[in-house]
Amino acid sequence: MSEVNEESESIGMPAPTAWPMVSAAGVALAAVGIATNPFISVAGVMVLMVAIGGWLRELTPGRGEIEETWVPVDQRAREVVASSRRVAQPRAGLPGNRSHFPERVHTYASGVVGGLLGGGVMAGTAMLYGVVSGRGIWYPINMLAGIVLTRFDDVSKLELERFSVTAFIIASLLHLTASALVGLFFEIVLPTLPKSPVFWGGVVAPLMWTGVVYASIGILNPLMSEHIVWSWFIASQFAYGLTMGIYVVNAKKVPASHIEGASTADGRDHESQS
Amino acid sequence: MAIAEPTIESPAPPLVTRLHGWVTTVDHKRIGLMYLMMSLFFLVLGGLEVIWIRMQLWSANNTLVEADTFNQLFTMHGTTMIFFVVMPMIAGFANYLIPLMIGARDVAFPRLNAFGFWMSLFGGMILYLSYFTGEALYGAGSAPDVGWFAYAPLTSPAYSRGSSVDYWILATLVSGVGTLTFAINLIATIVSMRAPGMAIGKLPLFVWMMLVDAWLIVFAFPPFTAAQVMLLMDRHLGAHFFDTQAGGSAILWQHLFWFFGHPEVYIMALPAFGIISEVVPVFSRKVIFGHTTLAMSTTAIGFISMGVWAHHMFTVGLNDGLDAFFSAASFLIAVPTGIKIFNWTATLYGGRLRLHTPMLFALGFLSMFLIGGLTGVMLAAVPVDWQVSDSYFLVAHFHYVLFGGSLFALMAGLYYWYPKATGRMLDETWGKWHFWLQLIGFNLTFAPMHISGLMGMPRRVYTYQAGQGWEIWNQISTVGGFVMGAGFAVMFVNLLWSLQRGRIAGDDPWDAWTLEWATSSPPASYNFETIPIVRSRRPLWDKKHPEDPDWIHE
């Protein structure tokens, strides 16, 4: 591209050329010939060769560029000037123009760690059920793995009570990932919720989650739907929610800018309608 | 400030001269507009096909079209909408806007850029040429009827006589090369032609997302091209890559196809995310919330999207380990996508919202894409996928993602940047009619498909028996299809009417902040008289508010 010369009346720009279109037409003809008649392909290749030659000539020095004259001054863009609109001052409870909402947040790490801790307590609760019910600690783990392991769909209860390396790995991955992500999600949405976060994390979320699972478990995990004991399921959800909620709420808060990587607003809001 | 109507100083050149100007152009803006016009043309064709589909499914045992014709209709509809509507529309926006947004006079390879457009257009023409061919290789000529995914061994000469499959292969092959050249040009342009001061971290989000998008194209399209060449060799040279009768593998085609096909979903979604990231802050009068996390989550989506292709193949019978890996990866991709939704919502929060048509479409995108994303998370669970795969539930899901997502966002972009490209505003009243017709029609069309899918209606069936409870849902869908059609008709009228009679837009009708609004509407061929110098992510804000520029905060 040419250098800009403010003194000149024009600027060098690429010249219009038909060769790209002719080249594409050559390729298209060559392609169509495959489905119709080889002679069309031959013609297409010949067109393509001619077009490539023409295209290459466009690239030689002194060709392929034209001088575009500057458009008249009255058709040019107007100079961007300072706006008459004021940048509105902040109002209580509303975020500023470039502020982060909220100003102070829990770290992502606290959400993940809280989620993992909650997941640990939840797993303990589920395994306690396995012990109390006499089915063993691997029973809930195998049922969780049934989300992925389709071979568990038609095994006996006895097999579900046995240890399986694959099921253990898959269930652990699922459980740890879900626990960490739910904790992270909770940490992110926590500032947007009304007061009493432990209530949200420890009571509302487990009830909602249990409702969702109750409604969809038949499709999501047919194996679990047959064997699930809802009282224990809800207990393990509460164990997760309370542990994670308490941990996250008590974790140290940092300015949102530490996470976002930019400074928080100094109190300026969006533009007012002036 | 009132803006005077431009005065006509000289008569317009003859039509042939003007057409010649378009055919030979290497101006990225004109090429962008040609991509958009091509996209809208094929949108009409794809829309007509789907209207036929919906009319056929209106009632049980309907005989409006035969089974073979129905197969052709859904194949052509899918292929058209993906390769010749959404992709060209994305290429159109990117071509037109990116040099303007980064303060460049042109693209890196203007001729290659033009070549890419013509390849895409000729690809579309090859596809539709199939309707007009008669006798061909095996004595039959018709439109492709193997689905937009063209699974082997259905595509082998034994099962697909004639040249219909060849037309599908050649059309997508040719347009794919065009898409690849577009992506290479885009990467080179963004990397090497930014205005002084515009570091990578200061790129407008649309540009950043298009950069990731272009890389996805570069990684995803070549394997698909290779697969198509292999299929051509199977069909014409006696090779057996996918011929199960001779030691080939039909599953190999699925792997190669979906290795392209799933990134392709994100190739279509990321530009939509970019458009939303430009529209939402301007119409909320606020800075985008979490620029960095939006950019990083885009990169994360780019990486993860390359590793989820086999979730389209859960019902193939891969082993549990593979299913588990791809299931987990599919769940994982919801995280960066969720971060984006959160960021856009946080941008809206506390903003001074201006509900003009672009913003309405952006809000429509947010809600529809969220629904599509949630059903996507459901489908990432293998047992759920086993239950509803190849049912209308899946059809509903991907339409909520690709139509409710991509196309709603692209409509937002159309209404947002039309003034820049034409110098005139689109009519707001018609725009709102378009939005509401499209939103209502869309939900009427696709929401019932969740239900009919869960009730067991398989996709791709040309008719069904009465008494299965599917009729009412299909009828609602068909009505919705017509409502949507009316919405698009309003859009076309608006586009054409406003071109001549729309309100004069001026340089910056939305009071926006990125560089494209610093040029005239429409811009001169060289874009900028003076190359702008950039100090922040919102260069126009800095000029409009020297008392509070962004660069002191970034």
Q: What is the CA angle B179-B362-B418, rounded to 5?
A: 65
Q: What is the structure's pLDDT at A103?
A: 65
Distance CA(A65)–CA(B112), nearest Å, equals 15
Q: Give the three-class secondary structure for A14.
A: strand
Q: What is the structure's pLDDT at B498?
A: 97
Distance CA(B142)–CA(B10), nearest Å, equals 49
> B78 lies in a domain?
yes
CA B405 to chain A, closest CA, distance in angstroms equals 23
> B190 lies in a domain?
yes
Give me the sign of the Cα torsion angle B175, B180, B332, A108.
negative
> B141 lies in a domain?
yes
Domain range annotation of chain A: 12-67, 104-256
Q: What is the structure's pLDDT at B194?
A: 97
Q: Which two tokens stand for residue A78?
A: 């107007």
The answer to whether residue A16 neighbours chain B at the CB level (below 8 Å) is yes
Q: Which two tokens stand for residue B338?
A: 């969720």
Q: pLDDT band for position A3 (50/70/90)?
A: very low
The answer to whether residue A25 neighbours chain B at the CB level (below 8 Å) is yes
CA B119 to chain A, closest CA, distance in angstroms equals 5
Nearest CA in chain B to A176: B328
- Between A36, A95, A263, which is nearest B133 by CB? A36
Higher per-residue confidence, A266 vs B402: B402
- pTM of the predicted model over 0.75: yes
Question: Could you report the per-residue pLDDT of B175-213, keeping only the tens digit for each?
Answer: 999 999 999 999 999 999 999 999 999 999 999 999 999
Question: Could you report the per-residue pLDDT of B523-540, keeping only the tens digit for each?
Answer: 999 999 999 999 999 999
- Between A31, A80, A100, which is nearest B518 by CB? A80
Distance CA(A59)–CA(A46), nearest Å, equals 20
Question: Could you report the per-residue pLDDT of A7-19, keeping only the tens digit for each?
Answer: 578 899 999 999 9
CB A137 within 8 A of CB A131: yes
Q: Give the three-class secondary structure for B357.
A: helix
The answer to whether residue A158 neighbours chain B at the CB level (below 8 Å) is no
pLDDT above 70 for A267: no
Residues in chain A: 274
- Strand-pair partners of A104: A255
Query: A37 to chain B: which residues are within 8 Å by CB?
Result: none
Q: What is the structure's pLDDT at A208?
A: 75
CB B159 within 8 A of CB B153: yes
Q: What is the structure's pLDDT at A266?
A: 33
Distance CA(B492)–CA(A189), nearest Å, equals 41
Interface-testing mutation among B286, B331, B332, B551, with chain A (most A C-beta atoms within 10 A): B286
Which residue has tokens 């930019």? A262
Angle subtended by helix axes B28-56 and B110-129, to nearest 10 = 20
What letters, b where the CB count within 10 A reaches 16 and e where it falls short, cover A212-245? ebeeebebbbbbbbeebeeebbbbbbbbbbbbbb
Q: How many domains does chain B fold into?
A: 1
Contact check, Cβ <8 Å, A95/B286: yes
Nearest CA in chain B to A90: B350
Distance CA(A124)–CA(A118), nearest Å, equals 10
Distance CA(B300)–CA(B308), nearest Å, equals 13
Contact check, Cβ <8 Å, A13/B350: no
Give me the sign of the Cα torsion angle B224, B225, B228, B229.
negative
Distance CA(A193)–CA(B504), nearest Å, equals 45
Query: A101 to chain B: which residues are within 8 Å by CB?
Result: 289, 346, 349-350
Contact check, Cβ <8 Å, B553/A263: yes
- Rounded to whole angstroms, what are the CA distances from A269 to A46, A87, A88, A89, B547? 64, 6, 5, 5, 13
Q: What is the structure's pLDDT at B1?
A: 44
Distance CA(A258)–CA(B294), nearest Å, equals 16
Q: Is the peptide bond before B532 cis (omega within 30 degrees of 0)?
A: no
Interface-testing mutation among B102, B109, B285, B508, with chain A (most A C-beta atoms within 10 A): B285
Higher per-residue confidence, A170 vs A151: A170
CA A16 to chain B, closest CA, distance in angstroms equals 5
- Between B115, B136, B291, which is nearest A24 by CB? B115
Contact check, Cβ <8 Å, A32/B327: no
> B285 lies in a domain?
no
CB B288 within 8 A of CB B345: no
Nearest CA in chain A to B548: A87
CA A258 to chain B, closest CA, distance in angstroms equals 12
Closest CA relative to residue B394, chosen from B452, B325, B461: B452
CA B455 to chain A, closest CA, distance in angstroms equals 13
The answer to whether residue A56 neighbours chain B at the CB level (below 8 Å) is no
Distance CA(B411)–CA(B413), nearest Å, equals 5
> B399 lies in a domain?
no
The answer to whether residue A75 neighbours chain B at the CB level (below 8 Å) is yes
Q: SS3 for A141-175, per residue? A: HHHHHCCCCHHHHHCCHHHHCCCCHHHHHHHHHHH
The answer to whether residue A229 neighbours chain B at the CB level (below 8 Å) is no
> B18 lies in a domain?
no
Give the residues of chain B that fall short of pLDDT 70: 1-10, 134-141
The answer to whether residue A224 neighbours chain B at the CB level (below 8 Å) is no
The answer to whether residue A168 neighbours chain B at the CB level (below 8 Å) is no
What range defines the domain where residue B61 resides? 27-203
> B283 lies in a domain?
no
Q: How many CB pairs under 8 A join A and B?
A: 202
Higher per-residue confidence, B88 vs A264: B88
> B135 lies in a domain?
yes
- Between B105, B346, B545, which is nearest A1 by CB? B105
Question: Could you report the per-residue pLDDT of A188-242, keeping only the tens digit for each?
Answer: 777 666 667 677 777 777 777 777 777 767 766 666 677 778 888 888 888 888 8
Strands A104-106 and A65-69: unpaired
Question: For chain B, how long is the longest CA-to-CA vector?
Answer: 74
Question: Could you report the per-residue pLDDT of B415-429, keeping only the tens digit for each?
Answer: 999 999 999 999 999
Contact check, Cβ <8 Å, B122/A16: no
Give me the sign of the Cα torsion angle B83, B84, B85, B86.
positive
Query: B514 to chain A: which residues are within 8 Å by CB?
Result: none
pLDDT above 90 for A262: no
Contact check, Cβ <8 Å, A87/B548: yes
Distance CA(A115)–CA(B537), nearest Å, equals 35
Q: What is the structure's pLDDT at A155?
A: 67
Contact check, Cβ <8 Å, A97/B544: no
Question: Could you report the per-residue pLDDT of B159-175, keeping only the tens digit for each?
Answer: 988 888 999 999 999 99
Nearest CA in chain A to B121: A24
